[in-house]
């Protein structure tokens, strides 16, 4: 039992955290550094010191170009101008993910075979769930029936106008150049937020008698001491993996893809349209991403090496790109998919690839970095006596999040009706899915999902995201027993759909094309008022 007088002892100077050392740069390191420095007010006198150590010898993966709408909140919290960010990170607006050929094999299914996972919530949400009425009467695809954003995406229209304030407009995220973004964050964190930066390669980690990290040593003979260490060393996982040997929970039995091959594709013309959504196209052993930045496209094929060869994967990618791929170099990236069973251990927390990685289908990598940096900063362990308590809280939250992401990503595969390759046959086998996902689908088969199925504040993908994927993939719950209950809300549903038609017409007439807006922002900037 802890008595009140104990708390005075907790604040003894020997028990306080005064220095945080972040090992590794890239997107994870610099987002974490910026979040910590902002939260802890590192520029203030006697503030906690945040030092980031990164090596020039270790390159960044640099293909994490898709983000989640949480990125807007992160940028705003850090005090970053949206206009400046767009210019420096070669960013464009992302309103959705478009899924092509996920439901059927295009060789045998000639009708349109796509759907959008929109960032816009369905019309009426969160006050009214229109999905049962769509299930009963819908003539169009679900995304088209409940949001104007699908039409905007198909027309490559932006989610806002040049006169719209920074971060306002329809709900959106960004596509960005990961290398340029990390470089921008580094400069901002050092100059504006007070982060200390050291370029060095770490070759030794020192522990005390209780296995807490006391310092790291660099190849040039320097020792960097700290009270808390953040592992942002990527797949290497120098601290959480190599030093602490924390168990890694592989997700390979559920999600088969384990490699990616990527090509940066220039636009054929300077005024080529820029897609305002990620395009995810299903293929024989995986799927391609297609992301439009202002100066180029980032295109890659995520695939299972158990179902195809690396040579065939590159062929599929080049066939998808077409003649624009001629003469361009492809880069293969092995992926270690899964997560650490503990993200926080002793006085070390892993953030980014060192903590885990689930395939990039729903752009969760950067979002998980943001969420980890935010939680760690908000629940910062000022006192060393709080380590074990905060460790458990942090780990519980992120195990929940990793498992929820696995369920949601697997959902895309499990509902497919493709049988054209062993990859899809294996993926649609219920034995390849977590029991937690099978239980959800069993419930939803009897009754459509509701807000009650997503009660946690730590849910990354809530009701609306699940609706877009479930109904986009042709999942149809039984609503026959709900007809009487639904009848009393028919008028409300009809009213919402009329409002949607008006909104869609107004937005389609007013909003510019993506390229036009990006060029205007680079020239004039968005309004800050």
Half-sphere exposure of 86 toward its Cβ, with a 13 Å CA cutoff? Answer: 25
Residue given tokens 């964190």 in the structure block:
189
In the prediction, which pLDDT does 529 show? 65
Strand partners, 98: 116, 279
Q: What is the CATH number of domain 17-90+175-250+338-402?
A: 3.50.50.60
pLDDT attached to residue 57: 65
> Cα–Cα distance between 333 and 258 in angstroms, integer?
9
- Collapsing DSSP to helix, strand or coil, 482 comes out as helix
Percent of the chain predicted with pLDDT > 90: 85
Q: How high is the mean pLDDT of the chain? A: 93
Does 11 have pLDDT greater than 60? no
Interval 340-363 mean pLDDT? 97
- Whether the per-residue pLDDT at 336 is higher than 70: the answer is yes
Residue 368: strand, helix, or coil: helix
* Residue from 72, 94, 342, 374 carrying the catalytic annotation: 94
Tell me: the pLDDT tens digits for 163-205? 999 999 999 999 999 999 999 999 999 999 999 999 999 999 9
Please give the pLDDT value at position 521: 97
SS3 content of the chain, % helix, strand, coil (to 5): 40, 20, 40
| CATH 3.50.50.60 boundaries in the chain | 17-90+175-250+338-402, 92-172+254-336+406-506
Structure tokens at 17: 């955290």
Provide the pLDDT confidence category of residue 5 given band limits of 50, 70 and 90.
very low
Largest CA distance in the chain: 76
Query: Tens digit of pLDDT for each residue in 76-90?
Result: 999 999 999 999 999
CATH number of the domain located at residue range(s) 92-172+254-336+406-506 in this protein = 3.50.50.60
Residue 345 CA: distances (Å) to CA of 17, 177, 335, 354, 525 = 16, 32, 24, 13, 44
**Looking at residue 197, what is its pLDDT?**
97
Distance CA 256, CA 263 (A): 22
Least confident window among 151-155, 205-209, 446-450: 446-450
- Asked which of 422-431, 435-444, 479-488 is least confident by mean pLDDT, the reply is 479-488
Q: Which of 61-70, 100-109, 114-123, 179-188 has the lowest mean pLDDT?
A: 61-70
Output the CA angle 499-503-507, nearest 5 degrees.
175
pLDDT at 119 over 90: yes
**pLDDT tens digits along 223-251:** 999 999 999 999 999 999 999 999 999 99
Instruction: Kindly give the interhelix angle for 387-414 and 435-446, rounded to the nearest 10 degrees.
Output: 60
How many angstroms separate the CA atoms of 506 and 242, rounded?
Answer: 56
pLDDT above 80 for 137:
yes
Contacts of 160 (CB under 8 A, 6+ apart): 93, 168, 169, 170, 172, 511, 517, 526
CA pair distance 95, 169, nearest whole angstrom: 11
- What's residue 444's pLDDT? 97
The answer to whether 94 is a known catalytic residue is yes
Q: Is the pLDDT assigned to residue 337 strictly greater than 70?
A: yes
For residues 227 and 214, give the distance between their C-alpha atoms in angstroms, rounded to a whole number: 7
């Amino acid at each position: 039992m802890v008595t009140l007088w104990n708390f005075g002892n907790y604040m003894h100077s020997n028990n306080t955290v005064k220095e945080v050392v972040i090992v590794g740069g890239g997107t994870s390191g610099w987002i974490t550094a910026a979040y910590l420095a902002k939260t802890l007010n590192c520029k203030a006198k006697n503030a906690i010191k945040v030092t980031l150590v990164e090596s020039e010898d270790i390159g960044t993966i640099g293909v994490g170009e898709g983000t989640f709408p949480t990125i807007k909140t992160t940028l705003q919290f850090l005090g970053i101008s949206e206009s400046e960010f767009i210019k420096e990170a070669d960013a464009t607006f992302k309103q959705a993910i478009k899924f092509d050929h996920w439901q059927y094999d295009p060789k045998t299914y000639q009708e349109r075979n796509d759907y959008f996972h929109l960032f816009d919530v369905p019309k009426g949400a969160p006050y009214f769930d229109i999905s049962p009425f769509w299930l009963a009467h819908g003539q169009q695809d679900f995304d088209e029936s409940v949001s104007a954003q699908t039409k905007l995406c198909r027309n490559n229209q932006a989610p806002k106008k040049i006169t719209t304030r920074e971060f306002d407009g329809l709900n959106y995220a960004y596509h960005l150049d990961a290398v340029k973004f990390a470089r921008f964050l580094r400069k901002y964190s050092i100059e504006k937020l007070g982060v200390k930066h050291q370029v060095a390669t770490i070759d030794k980690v020192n522990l005390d008698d209780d296995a807490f990290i006391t310092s790291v040593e660099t190849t040039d003979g320097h020792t960097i001491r700290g009270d808390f260490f953040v592992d942002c060393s990527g797949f290497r996982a120098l601290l959480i993996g190599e030093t602490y040997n924390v168990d890694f929970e592989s997700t390979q039995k559920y999600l088969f893809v384990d490699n990616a091959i990527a090509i940066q594709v220039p636009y054929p013309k300077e005024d080529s349209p820029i897609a305002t959504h990620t395009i995810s196209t299903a293929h024989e052993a995986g799927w391609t991403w297609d992301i439009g930045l202002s100066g180029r496209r980032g295109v890659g094929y995520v695939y299972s090496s158990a179902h195809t060869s690396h040579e065939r994967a590159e062929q599929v990618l080049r066939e998808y790109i077409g003649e624009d791929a001629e003469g361009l170099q492809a880069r293969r990236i092995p992926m270690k998919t899964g997560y650490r069973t503990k993200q926080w251990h002793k006085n070390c927390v892993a953030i980014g690839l060192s903590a885990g990685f689930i395939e990039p289908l729903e752009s969760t990598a950067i979002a998980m970095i943001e969420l980890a940096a935010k939680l760690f900063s908000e629940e910062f362990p000022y006192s060393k006596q709080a380590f074990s308590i905060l460790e458990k809280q942090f780990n519980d939250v992120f195990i929940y999040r990793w498992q929820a992401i696995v369920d949601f990503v697997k959902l895309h595969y499990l509902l497919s009706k493709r049988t054209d390759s062993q990859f899809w046959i294996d993926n649609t086998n219920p034995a390849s899915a977590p029991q937690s996902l099978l239980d959800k689908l069993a419930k939803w088969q009897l009754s459509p999902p509701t807000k009650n199925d997503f009660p946690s504040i730590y849910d990354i993908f809530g009701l609306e995201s699940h609706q877009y994927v479930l109904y986009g993939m042709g999942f149809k719950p039984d609503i026959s027993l709900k007809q009487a209950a639904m009848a009393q809300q028919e008028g409300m549903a009809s009213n919402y759909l009329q409002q949607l038609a008006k909104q869609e017409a107004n937005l389609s007439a007013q909003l510019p094309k993506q390229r036009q807006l990006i060029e205007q922002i680079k020239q004039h900037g968005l309004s800050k008022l």
